[in-house]
Every structure is written in structure tokens, then in C-alpha cells.
Amino acid sequence: MGNGRYGSQRKTAYREVLPIIVVVCDDTRTAVAYFQEMRRDFKSTVTLKIIPAPRTGATAMDVVQKAIQVKTSTQSPEDTDEVWALLDLEAIGKDNILANNAKREGEKEGIRVVQSNPCFEVWILAHLVNTGRAFSGCREVLTEVKKEWKTAFGVDFGNQKSRADYSKLTQLRAQAIKCCRARGPHNSPSWTEVYNLVESIMAKSVDNGRGQIPPHSTISPAGI
């Protein structure tokens, strides 16, 4: 009997290869930097591959098509456990038909598509304050992030989103998940589904058979 991906000759339940999660972002800065920090936190239990937006000004469909390309280019279904696509609704404006069409297209191909209204920075803000208030756009969300960041940590967020110290948010993930799970398009002007991805990463870290919990993780072996 061959070794295989799950180590069939071993007496333990450990996977020889860590769970693989691919995240295709629709920007090249905030989301990329945030998940790079998560990759460092979970590197012993999950392989997290982060792909920036395929190009500056990429549309929702561009991002989803990139995710589909990643999924279909793998050599076997086991090469990647999950492929996720992150979509901001800000660029779509009030008419979200294009974003919803892209989401349906991705889900038909097995892509897990999560949306944020107006942008990914709503997820960052949820670590700092529980609010679902309306924002005119990502710039206003970022202004709020900078204010709450200064209040929480006593230091400036900085002028470059990609260079902020997102390790400061590690122990606040459970708070962010709780806030975002309670909000959606049905009850809040601003919301994000990114918590689904973060929960999946944390769950796979426990479920891969190693029984390890990454440093500062807020998940327990019994679940979230």
C-alpha cells in the first residue's frame, strides 16, 4: 500500500501534507498582508497560499476567473483543499449584479466566494470595534480603522495598508468573527463574509489530525 497524501502506511491519523487553502484577493495590499500574517501563525498546521488581484483594477469576474484557473490547473482534486475568492462590492457601486454573477459563476466551479461591503477593510475594523454602520466607501472605512487602531494599540496604523502590523490583530480574531457573523446585507449597511474563510483556516488547523493549535489561536479542539 502506497504512502499517499494522507499517509496510509502510518498508524497515526496525521496527514503527510498539510491542508492547502488558496486565497485569491481582489487587491494587492490589505487582504494580502492580513493573510500573510495568518500564514505565519498557522504555518505548522495549514498551507495558506495567497494570490494578489490578477491586475490593478481587476473586476469581480477577473478575481473569480483567476480562482477557477488555480483550481482547474491542479493535477488532482487533492492538490488543493479549498480555493477562495475575495470580492469587494465598492468597485461595483450600488448595482451589485456583476459581483453576484461572479459569485454564482465561482460557486458553480467549487470556488468559495466571499463578499465585503464596501471592502475588505470592514473585516479589519471588526477586530477593533463592533459596528455595521454605513460607509461611503473604502476610504471612509480606512479612516475609521486608523482611528480605532490608534485607540486600541496607541500607535498609528500607518499610511501604507500593506505595511501595517497585522500581528496586533491575532488575539482579536474571535471578536471579529463574532461581530461579522451577526451582520449581513439583511441587517447592516456594512458587512463582510471574510469570517467564513478565517473560520475554515482555523478549523482545518485543528482537523488535520495533528491536534495542534497555532499560537494565539482562539479556537479549541472542540470547535469554534
pLDDT per residue over 153-179, tens digit each? 999 999 999 999 999 999 999 999 999
Residue-wise pLDDT for 127-158, tens only, equals 999 999 999 999 999 999 999 999 999 999 99
pLDDT of residue 56: 79
Query: How far is Cα 6 from Cα 208, in angstroms, rounded to an integer?
Result: 10
Asked whether residue 215 is domain-assigned, the answer is: no
Q: Give how many domains the chain has, as a whole number.
A: 1
Are the CB atoms for 205 and 187 separated by under 8 Å? no
- Structural domain range at position 164: 20-207
Report if pTM > 0.85.
no
Does residue 4 fall inside a structural domain? no
Q: What is the pLDDT of residues 37-73, one digit of tens each?
A: 999 999 999 999 999 998 878 899 999 999 999 999 8
Q: Would residue 67 count as lying in a domain?
A: yes
Q: Which residue has the higher pLDDT, 34 or 2?
A: 34
Kindly report which listed range (46-55, 83-92, 125-134, 195-204) carries the lowest average pLDDT score: 83-92
Residue 156 DSSP one-character state: -
Q: Tell me if 221 is assigned to some domain.
A: no
Residue 43 belongs to some domain of the structure: yes
In a domain, 7, yes or no: no
- Spell out the residues 6+ positions from residue 104 whose beta carbon is closer than 8 angstroms to its own: none
